[in-house]
């Protein structure tokens, strides 16, 4: 590990921290006539405000000159509330009058600010009409400023405007201290809304953007009543976010407000009635009215009060819909523009009642570093001496969780670099208890033991992101409600959607929490329910220490640091083992250390085993007497199998998926008719396999068959009529023999078809020509990449559900069937690398689903004019088509075409008008164009060498020369 720190990271973080420090501004500005009130009323008021920690500006200097100072102007501008004390001689001071004019100007700019006129010993009408002492003062001003009467008029208008504002008259308060107290109370009520609107909460890293998003959801300008649910994992910042929103909106937008904090604990301690009464008393500010309330039945009188008061209610950390109903039932019909915010870890709590939802995401990587810096080093401290890798490790461990970053930052504060390294290494084994206690609340809140089991399975079986299908396939046999369980875990924020579509992930801290629960089950790993740590698993397998408590084993072989000799009796005591997963990540050939079975394996494997995955399985067959009746999925990729089993298997009723890919020694398959529910078989690159069809003939439910790279298949006797929606023959080296043998059979599922079209089922395939072969009619994906096929048979049109056709790198393919357009379901066609293909078939009828056509590096010389019938085409590729030089003029009718790639086509001389939706046109190596078309809409081009040929195109051109 490097010892030097990163100056750039240090300076960037220091700058960011300093940005969050803000200059303190005044809460209140006192404007007064010094001679009248400086040593009396104004000083009393200043003292009372200061005693309440209300920062107040009072100019203790005597007024001098005709103009107020820049310092005074700045203080006025930055204050939230302006208190103007009108006294007997206030109007005689031009200084005071200028202050008043400037205050009112600032009020117009800052509409949130407030002017409080105080009429001290003077009647408001005297100020308004400039009578009495004010009239005398203005007579003097008019003489003195006779050349600047505009200024005098400004003063008069300011006095009139200020006196019309709502203020306090000293004659209504006796003794004088009551007036002081009233002013302080009024300011105390008004001030919070100004502070909350101004305050940036910059010290709460990453909060501003989220607060604005919540405020948009609240739609405070709408008259409707909205309930917004804030949802996310523990420690992610839901309560903090709700608190900031409350501080910003409660005083300025609502007439009543209540923040019920930590409902989960308060509800458990004191019950619903306590919280309900607290809610109503704070909203209505009337404790006496609570006697009218009763549980679950709303008081009509209270209900009518609530309907007339715009309120903001925040219910924090609600864990069940029962809690929510107990708090708001009967009182959910609030006044227009009222808002309720509910924070929860459980999406189900808010699904029923909320009309808007906000998922709180973690901090970005740089925000994580910034927050950690704040707590580990303080605002102004340097990180010199701590290398960047240490900071990165903390950020990765917390994975955007603010609570974890704060706890770790505080824990590591003032500790040395060496202590940091020790602490971070320890966290891998022993997570921080404070963080784990917060996260574990979500797990303890699961009220179904099956769902708890599903959570623990996922925490131990998956190291990274996974798909929902993967989890369901692995777990569904042991729990038929696993689909429901995964949904509940997502609602509880224990699982979340990943970055990629259909991907799920478990936050690292939550996974560590789940694994800690397992580790705490027993000190001896072999007595725990699930094994996930490589060192623990190797210990158990080598010494046969596994007990009946073991249900799941998951071993990533890339994490072991030595060869492991598995004891022959390693699994003999694991009577409840249901999932065994020994897998590799990445290339299996790169695995340095392996598991060996020098004495073989005892015949016993748990009869509850439903998921058996062992990459690089070291034995030549499965153990004899291996009970397979509950097995749902069998994965033995890259195994040493020669035969799947050496004994007679009576029944495999539960088996649905089998993957024996890259088992290069596998020479034959057993009769798989004993597994009638098989849906998927993967035999890719089983290069010793010579016979397949006889094993598959009775598999009525088989939908996915992968025979990629099976180069020695010789005799494939009879294929069931339902041999798959998905037949993948890419890299199938002996496809001629495969199709030839299919062609010589009299399949029952082809009989009626052949009687109608050929009269018999005698199909012949020569060594290289297979045009008479009929494919299974239920295919949706047909991959024949890198085969020796020369022509597709016409019968391909009778595969109505074919969606994807891949003939890439079929070097001998010379033609496509003329009835190609009858494949109405086709969405993607890949003919790239078909060097002998020199003609594309006519498209006699519209193909409404085809969006992708790849003709890259083909021998095609021209496209038919009927290409316009590819009405949904979006991507079209003819890169490296060296013989092609013609494009039909009608191609602009392909209205949905977005991307056209025509690079390295040397014979291309001109282009027709291009379609209006086109986003990207990739061109290059055009040296001799004389005429290029006018663009229909816009162009993106790269490596274009003749820009002079595009001068007449309407749209701007991006050139990459």
Just list the catalytic residues.
99
Torsion sign, CA atoms 268, 269, 273, 276? negative
Q: Return the axis-axis angle of helices 402-412 and 388-398, rounded to nearest 10°.
A: 140
Give the DSSP H/E element, type plus range, for residue 117: strand 114-119
**Distances, alpha carbon 654 to alpha carbons 144, 628, 647, in Å:** 105, 9, 19
Task: Give me 686's structure tokens.
Answer: 């089983």
How do the residues of the chain divide into helix, strand and coil, expressed in percent and rounded to 5? 35, 10, 50
355 in helix, strand or coil? coil
Beta strands per DSSP E along 456-576:
466-467, 496-497, 503-505, 530-531, 552-556, 564-565
Question: Are the C-beta atoms of 299 and 328 separated by less than 8 Å?
Answer: no
Half-sphere exposure of 444 (CA within 13 A, CB side): 8
Peptide bond into 175 cis (omega under 30): yes
- C-alpha 144/C-alpha 154 separation (Å) is 15
Place of tokens 């109505």: 800
Other CB atoms within 10 Å distance of the CB of residue 422: 12
How far apart are alpha carbons 902 and 923 in whole angstroms? 5
Tokens 């073989």 -> residue: 600
CB neighbours of residue 260 within 10 Å: 20
- Calpha distance 151→216 (Å, rounded): 44
- Cβ atoms < 10 Å from Cβ of 295: 11
Identify which of 398, 393, 399, 400 has the alpha carbon closest to the alpha carbon of residue 424: 393
CA 67 to chain centre: 58
Instruction: State the pairing for strand pair 114-119/356-359.
Output: unpaired
Work out whether the CA dihedral 286, 292, 294, 298 comes out positive or negative.
Answer: negative
SS3 306: helix
Nearest one of 557, 514, 553, 520 to 537, comparing CA atoms:
553
Distance (Å) of CA 774 to CA 632, 701, 757? 33, 20, 11
**Total count of residues recorded for the chain:** 961
Nearest to 398 by CA among 431, 353, 442: 431
Contacts for 292 with CB less than 8 Å, ≥ 6 apart = 299, 301, 302
Quote the radius of gyration of the chain (alpha carbons, Å).
40
67 exposure class (CB count in 10 Å sphere: 0-12, 13-18, 19+): exposed
DSSP assignment string, 633-680? EEE-TT---SSS-SS-----TT--EEE-TT-TT------GGG-TT--E
Say how many CA atoms lie within 13 Å of 748 toward its Cβ: 6
Please report where in the chains the tokens 């298997």 appear, as a residue.
649
The C-alpha atoms of residue 892 and residue 335 are separated, in whole angstroms, by: 58
Q: In whole angstroms, what separates CA 791 from the centre of its chain?
A: 46
């Amino acid at each position: 590990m490097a010892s030097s720190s990163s100056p750039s990271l240090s300076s960037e973080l220091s700058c960011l921290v300093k940005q969050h420090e803000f200059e303190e501004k005044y809460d209140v500005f006192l404007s007064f006539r010094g001679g009248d009130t400086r040593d009396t009323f104004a000083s009393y008021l200043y003292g009372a405000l200061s005693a309440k920690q209300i920062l107040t500006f009072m100019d203790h200097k005597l007024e001098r000159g005709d103009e107020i100072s820049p310092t005074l102007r700045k203080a006025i501008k930055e204050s939230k509330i302006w208190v103007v004390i009108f006294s007997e001689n206030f109007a005689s001071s031009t200084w005071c009058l200028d202050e008043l004019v400037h205050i009112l100007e600032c009020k117009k700019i800052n509409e949130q600010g407030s002017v409080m006129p105080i009429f001290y010993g003077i009647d408001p009408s005297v100020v308004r009409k400039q009578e009495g002492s004010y009239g005398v003062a203005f007579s003097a001003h008019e003489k003195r400023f006779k050349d600047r009467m505009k200024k005098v008029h400004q003063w008069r208008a300011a006095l009139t405007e200020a006196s019309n504002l709502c203020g306090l008259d000293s004659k209504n308060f006796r003794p004088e201290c009551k007036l002081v107290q009233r002013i302080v109370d009024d300011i105390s009520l008004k001030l919070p809304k100004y502070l909350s609107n101004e305050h940036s909460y910059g010290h709460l890293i990453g909060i501003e953007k989220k607060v604005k998003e919540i405020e948009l959801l609240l739609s405070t300008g709408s008259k409707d009543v909205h309930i917004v649910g804030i949802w996310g994992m523990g420690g992610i910042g839901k309560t903090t976010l709700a608190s900031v929103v409350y501080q910003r909106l409660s005083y300025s937008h609502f007439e009543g407000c209540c923040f019920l904090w930590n409902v989960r604990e308060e509800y458990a301690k004191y019950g619903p009635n306590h919280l309900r009464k607290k809610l109503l008393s704070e909203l209505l500010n009337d404790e006496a009215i609570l006697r009218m309330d009763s549980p679950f039945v709303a008081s009509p009188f209270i209900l009518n009060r609530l309907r007339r008061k715009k309120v903001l209610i925040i219910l924090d950390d609600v864990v069940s819909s029962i809690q929510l109903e107990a708090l708001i039932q009967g009182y959910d019909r609030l006044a227009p523009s009222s808002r309720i915010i509910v924070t929860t870890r459980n999406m189900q709590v808010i699904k029923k009642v909320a009309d808007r939802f906000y998922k709180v995401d973690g901090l970005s990587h740089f925000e994580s570093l910034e927050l950690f810096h704040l707590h580990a080093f303080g605002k102004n401290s340097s990180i010199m001496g701590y290398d960047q890798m240490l900071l990165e490790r903390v950020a990765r461990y917390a994975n955007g969780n603010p609570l974890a970053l704060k706890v770790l930052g505080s824990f590591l504060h003032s500790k040395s670099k060496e202590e940091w390294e020790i602490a971070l290494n320890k966290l891998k084994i022993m997570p921080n208890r404070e963080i784990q206690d917060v996260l574990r609340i979500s797990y303890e809140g699961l009220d179904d033991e099956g769902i708890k089991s599903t959570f623990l399975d996922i925490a131990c079986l998956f190291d990274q992101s996974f798909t929902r299908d993967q989890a369901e396939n692995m777990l569904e046999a042991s729990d038929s409600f696993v689909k429901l369980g995964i949904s509940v875990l997502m609602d509880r924020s224990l699982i979340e959607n990943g970055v990629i579509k259909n991907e799920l992930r478990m936050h690292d801290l939550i996974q560590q929490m789940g694994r800690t629960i397992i580790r705490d089950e027993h000190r001896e790993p072999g007595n725990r329910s699930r094994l996930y740590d490589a060192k623990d698993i190797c210990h158990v397998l080598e010494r046969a220490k596994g007990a009946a408590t073991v249900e799941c084993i998951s071993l990533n072989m890339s994490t072991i640091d030595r060869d492991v000799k598995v004891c022959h009796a390693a699994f003999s005591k694991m009577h409840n083992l249901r999932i065994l997963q020994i897998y590799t990540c990445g290339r299996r050939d790169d695995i340095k250390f392996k598991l060996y079975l020098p004495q073989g394996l005892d015949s016993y494997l748990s009869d509850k085993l439903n998921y058996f995955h062992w990459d690089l399985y070291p034995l030549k067959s499965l153990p004899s007497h291996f009970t397979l009746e509950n097995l749902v999925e069998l994965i033995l990729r890259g195994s040493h199998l020669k035969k799947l089993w050496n004994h007679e298997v009576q029944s495999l009723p539960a088996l649905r998926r089998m993957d024996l890919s890259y088992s290069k020694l596998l020479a034959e398959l057993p009769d798989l008719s004993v597994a009638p529910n098989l849906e998927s078989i993967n035999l890719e690159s089983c290069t010793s396999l010579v016979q397949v069809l006889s094993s598959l003939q009775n598999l009525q439910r088989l939908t996915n068959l992968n025979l990629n790279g099976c180069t020695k298949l010789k005799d494939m006797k009879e294929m069931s009529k339902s041999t798959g929606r998905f037949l993948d023959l890419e890299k199938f080296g002996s496809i001629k023999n495969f199709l030839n043998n299919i062609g010589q059979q009299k399949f029952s599922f082809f009989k009626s078809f052949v009687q109608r079209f050929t009269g018999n089922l005698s199909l012949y395939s020569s060594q290289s020509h297979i045009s008479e072969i009929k494919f299974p009619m239920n295919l949706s994906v047909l991959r024949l990449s890198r085969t020796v096929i020369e022509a597709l048979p016409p019968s391909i049109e009778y595969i109505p559900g074919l969606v994807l056709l891949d003939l890439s790198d079929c070097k001998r393919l010379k033609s496509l069937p003329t009835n190609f357009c009858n494949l109405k379901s086709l969405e993607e066609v890949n003919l790239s690398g078909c060097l002998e293909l020199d003609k594309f078939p006519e498209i006699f009828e519209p193909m409404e689903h085809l969006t992708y056509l790849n003709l890259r590096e083909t021998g095609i010389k021209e496209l038919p004019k009927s290409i316009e019938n590819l009405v949904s085409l979006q991507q079209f590729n003819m890169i490296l088509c060296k013989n092609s030089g013609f494009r039909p003029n009608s191609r602009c009718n392909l209205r949905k075409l977005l991307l056209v790639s025509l690079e390295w086509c040397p014979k291309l001389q001109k282009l027709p008008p291009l379609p209006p939706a086109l986003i990207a046109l990739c061109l290059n190596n055009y040296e001799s164009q004389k005429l290029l078309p006018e663009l229909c809409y816009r162009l993106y081009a790269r490596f274009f060498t003749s820009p002079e040929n595009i001068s007449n195109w309407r749209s701007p051109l991006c050139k990459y020369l």
